Amino acid sequence: MESAEIRRRWLSFFEERGHTVVPSASLIADDPTLLLVPAGMVPFKPYFLGETKPPAPTLTSVQKCVRTPDIEEVGKTTRHGTFFQMCGNFSFGDYFKEGAIKYAWELLTSSVADGGYGLEPEKLWITVYLDDDEAEAIWRDKIGVPAERIQRLGKKDNFWSMGVPGPCGPCSEINYDRGPEFGVEGGPAVNDERYVEIWNLVFMQYERGAGDGKEDFPILGDLPSKNIDTGLGLERLAMILQGVRNMYETDTLRVVMDKATELTGVAYGAADHSDVSLRVVADHIRTSTMLIGDGVTPGNEGRGYVLRRIMRRAIRNMRLMGATGPVVRDLIDVVIETMGQQYPELITDRKRIETVAIAEEAAFLKAIKGGTNILDTAVTETKAAGGTVLSGDKAFLLHDTWGFPIDLTLEMAAEQGLSVDETGFRRLMQEQRDRAKADAKAKKTGHADVSAYREIADGSGATEFTGYATNQGEAT
Ligand code: ATP
Ligand code: MG
Ligand code: MG
Ligand code: MG
């Protein structure tokens, strides 16, 4: 089943059951605590918080999402992209646990002829939160899932809150068993690559108080109106329904990998490291296209930096596979062709998207040239002095003046037989961030602190975004 059909079926299933269809919001979050939208519920946050009345008691959407913290997983796990689409259904004081569970089961397991996705019930494993006996009983007694395929998970995976006082509640996740070729048995609690998580159901039923924001906070009581927030990864379901081993091989991403192969001559399947590069290219080029489409332009701060980092990583991986000249235009055009079916504004905006991307690529190719000279000189000096380690100062200079990501410096130094003082580099980066923070504080701009994103985007230090997206099992 093609991605477009998965999406169509999702929306019509919930529309037929009384939900109002809401189009995807922009990736640029209308929310000062977030740079980019990491989950389908974000545009509906004011409804969940009771600040605004929803247009209808039940809604459904397929939301564009970007999760920068997942960048290191891309191409390595089979199931994480920096961009993906989250299919969601939402209830504001309408149906609750039993309703959400029944809908999910019906849609996943009804036959394709009946409008469902036709998954075999025996392949589905369920997780519920530690003390959520109610959810477990619904799965076991009303749906008929055998008790041995229901597992309990703790706060990190199966309890959701926004990281601040307000609504929170347990989650229940639906996972698909891809079989022994993906590793040992034992359910999602044991092996999350074999038992891949496809759908998260969040039951917002409690109100939480302050606490340390993460796992330790008091539950103040029940919410007056209980809400449902769910999220299913479209690409993950596509991977299962299309019978491929990872999300990059699904219909909308495979074509980007094929274009990268055409441009580099490196075939998919030729070697593990080039396969990772092909997957990174497919993911990152798609993310870049979608970000530029929503109006992000490359820069050194905030969203612009996220885009720059992702685009440069894609270009660097193309170069690792042997590309020397410009490549992004050809790659982006493939994304516009495939994603343009769902997001026609990509097609009408093609010229602008290409122009932004081509300019960034030219800037990066120029930087690589300029930076390479600095690097070569530094390598010669280091070797002449009998050293084997390139100093943190030099790595920092390359980053600061030529926008060299540290992994690029590491690789280029390694090619010439040197390692790099990464600790020194990270210390200088931290000092720079501290200075920037102090400046921002002095200016009292009132803008959200984006340094956490920057660290993630740099791959330097913090791996956990301290904002909304990774709180308590992550926003759905
Ligand atoms: P995982 O544990 O696999 O990282 P998650 O628990 O972080 O997933 P949720 O926050 O529950 O994910 O998001 C809801 C759904 O969105 C997931 O069940 C999954 O299908 C999908 N999803 C989440 N992150 C990604 C990603 N990086 N790429 C593709 N799909 C994703
Ligand atoms: Mg999870
Ligand atoms: Mg989850
Ligand atoms: Mg995750």
Residue ranges covered by each domain of the chain: 3-241, 250-458
Q: Is the CB of 197 under 6 A from ligand 1?
A: yes
Buried b (16+ CB within 10 A) or exposed e, 113-123: eeebbebeeeb
Neighbours of 303 (CB within 10 A): 23
Residue 82, pLDDT score: 98
198 lines ligand 1 (CB under 6 A): yes
For residue 58, the CA-to-ligand 2 centroid distance in Å is 24
- Rounded to the nearest angstrom, the distance between the alpha carbon of 198 and the centre of ligand 3 is 8
- Using a 6 Å cutoff on CB, does residue 81 contact ligand 1? yes
CATH code given to domain 3-241: 3.30.930.10
User: What Cα–Cα distance (Å) separates residue 75 from each residue in 3, 85, 282?
Assistant: 20, 17, 9
Looking up tokens 């809908």, which residue turns up?
Answer: 103
pLDDT value of residue 461: 31
Is 199 near ligand 1, meaning CB less than 6 Å away? yes
Is the C-beta atom of 476 inside 6 A of ligand 1?
Answer: yes
Please give the backbone phi and psi of residue 161, each rounded to the nearest 5 degrees, phi first: -150, 170
Mutate which of 84, 178, 203 for ligand 1 pocket (most atoms within 8 A of beta carbon): 84
pLDDT at 469: 32
Site to probe by mutation for ligand 1, drawn from 7, 78, 86 as the one with most ligand atoms within 8 Å of Cβ, is 86
Q: Please give the DSSP secondary-structure letter assigned to residue 6.
A: H
Q: What is the ipTM of this complex?
A: 0.99
Q: What is the DSSP letter of 36?
A: B
Residue with the smallest CA separation from ligand 1 atom 30 is 233
Query: Measuring from atom 10 of ligand 1, which residue has the nearest CA?
Result: 474
How many Å apart are CA 27 and CA 36, to the nearest integer? Answer: 5
What are the C-alpha distances in Å from 324 to residues 118, 150, 328, 407? 45, 51, 12, 19
Which residues of the chain register pLDDT less than 70?
213-214, 443-476
Give the span between the Cα atoms of 159 and 153, in whole angstroms.
Answer: 9
What pTM does this model have? Answer: 0.88
For a ligand 1 pocket test, name from 108, 129, 236 the mutation site with the most ligand atoms within 8 angstroms of its C-beta: 236
DSSP per-residue letters across 332-350? HHHHHHHHTTT-THHHHTH
Nearest residue (CA) to ligand 1, atom 31:
233
Asked whether 200 lines ligand 1 (CB < 6 A), one says yes
Which residue has 């769902």 as its token pair?
A: 342
Q: Please give the pLDDT value at position 473.
A: 30
